[in-house]
Amino acid sequence: MSNINFIQKSNLFSYTATRCLRNEYYHNDCTLCIDTCPKGAFHIVRNKLTLFENECVECAGCIGSCPTEALEIESFDPNQFAASYQHQTHPSISCKTLTPCLGVFDVDHLLVMVLRSKSNIECDMSHCSGCVLNENGSMEKSIRSKIEEANTFLESVGFEYRVTTLDVKEEQADRRALFRKGIEKAKEVISEKGVVALSMTSAHHAMPDVRMPLKRILLKNSLKEHVSEMSQTALEGVSPLFFNKQIDFNACTNCGECTQFCPTDALFPTADKQGIYFMQGKCIGCGICEDICKPKAIISKEGIDLVSIAFDRAEQLVHYEMVTCHECRCPYPYKGGDPVCDRCSSFMANHANMFTMAKDL
């Protein structure tokens, strides 16, 4: 195990701890990669996610599960593949030919491929049940869950194309051995070239002040191109793909902690620092804002607007008039009534006996 707490590598596979939600916020309990990894290579050490390199088989099946793209493999970039899928001559996506394990793709990638190609895409699942990476069935379950989620979204917006599956069983092969051969071949190519070409995702991460996962940017751009063709752009209910928030005006103290800890800047302050904006298209549903809010003023809200998501429209959730407290003379967000801040009101209520005059005893 590496002692460096930033990037851990197992040959071509890498985990960047600084992009992991568990490191972004100490109390975050995301376990998506742990639940997906067929070999149990991820462990929680002192509440931090750690990769045990000697247990990793570089199958790439965990990559699609990470909401912040903290996991990468040098031999394959799912974002690059999804962005250029429309130019593929064969519509079927198979780990035996074009890609590593199909777990490398997230719902975002599947939707990008369908939207940009304007056609059905086929995922070859014919050998998943007997694959060495699917010993407990979790990998196949994860892939099929993403396909179902993508199709549910496509149906809800009235888009005619879907993600299909090829389920005819074939003679099973040792998937681990096949992938090891692919890794060795990739190493040979890299060795011959001498310099590794920077993938689309790596180039994106190398840009300064970039916090949005590239897969979400690709999806928003794809929606932007086709949102006019969709029969439904305002969806009701709760979505597992996109998220909405609201803030209770009376409970919020305008402390700003939610905007400071938001990993994608989906929540950000107004120019005068007296209010908070929210962008649905940037929210990845990590739940950090709801957990860190002490008065529990932030809650999830039903309904999403695809136009706002595609074009990064921001909604002002709350805005306050700042006034000076008559007791402590400090500015605070005014919510009506006597101009006394919550801190002074609470102090006076809890320690009223200190202000009792001797003549009143």
Number of domains in the chain: 3
**Residue 2 forms part of a structural domain:** no
Domain boundary among 223, 251, 284: 223
pTM for this entry: 0.85
Least confident of 62-66, 123-127, 299-303, 324-328: 324-328
Question: What is the per-residue pLDDT for 173?
Answer: 46
Same domain, 70 and 219: yes
Same domain, 200 and 283: no
Whole-number average pLDDT of the chain:
87
Least confident of 180-194, 233-247, 253-267, 312-326: 180-194
Question: What is the per-residue pLDDT for 177?
Answer: 57
Same domain, 97 and 18: yes
Distance CA 59, CA 227 (A): 35
**Residue 24 forms part of a structural domain:** yes
Least confident of 3-7, 18-22, 67-71: 3-7
Same domain, 123 and 195: yes
Same domain, 72 and 114: yes
**Residue 125 forms part of a structural domain:** yes
Same domain, 211 and 262: no
Same domain, 302 and 342: no
Percent of residues, the chain, with pLDDT higher than 90: 64
**Residue 235 forms part of a structural domain:** no
Question: What is the per-residue pLDDT for 186?
Answer: 46
**Residue 309 forms part of a structural domain:** yes
CB 115 within 8 A of CB 226: yes
Q: What is the mean pLDDT of residues 264-288?
A: 95
Same domain, 301 and 187: no
**Residue 230 forms part of a structural domain:** no
Q: What are the pLDDT digits (tens) for 67-78?
A: 999 999 988 999
Same domain, 144 and 170: yes
Residue 97 is which amino acid? Answer: T
Same domain, 157 and 270: no
**Residue 232 forms part of a structural domain:** no
Distance CA 38, CA 163 (A): 24
Q: What is the mean pLDDT of residues 31-40?
A: 94
- 361 pLDDT tier (thresholds 50, 70, 90): low
Least confident of 134-138, 222-226, 351-355: 351-355
Distance CA 154, CA 139 (A): 23
* Pair of tokens at residue 217: 């940017």
- 290 pLDDT tier (thresholds 50, 70, 90): very high
Question: What is the per-residue pLDDT for 317?
Answer: 96
**Residue 237 forms part of a structural domain:** no
Question: What is the per-residue pLDDT for 148?
Answer: 97
Same domain, 313 and 325: no
Q: What are the pLDDT digits (tens) for 85-129?
A: 998 877 789 998 889 999 999 999 999 999 999 999 999 999 898
- 4 pLDDT tier (thresholds 50, 70, 90): very low
Domain boundary among 223, 252, 270: 223
Same domain, 146 and 282: no
Distance CA 142, CA 35 (A): 9
Q: What are the pLDDT digits (tens) for 318-332?
A: 998 888 888 898 888
Q: What is the span of the domain harbouring residue 18?
A: 7-223
